[in-house]
Amino acid sequence: MILDVHVNSRLVAKLYRKRGEYALKYLAALRYSPVFRTWP
């Protein structure tokens, strides 16, 4: 039971890490896009 929870927590951590990297890339793309720069 404890081992199962440990494996699930590692899986969730991996998913959140991937989502975080994707969010950072998305924000970087928004920041450096010309459309975002034209906004006030």
Q: Where are the alpha helices (DSSP H) in the chain?
A: 2-32, 34-38
pLDDT for the residue 8? 84
For 10-25, how does the pLDDT look when each residue is reduced to its tens digit (9 = 90+)?
Answer: 888 898 888 888 888 8
pTM exceeds 0.75: no
Q: Which residue ranges make up each domain of the chain?
A: 1-30
- The span from the CA of 29 to the CA of 36, in Å, is 9
Token readout for 3 is 């081992």
DSSP 39: -
**Closest Cα to residue 11, out of 38, 3, 23?**
3
Token readout for 10 is 């590692």
The confidence band for 39, taking pLDDT boundaries of 50, 70 and 90, is: low
pLDDT at 40 over 80: no
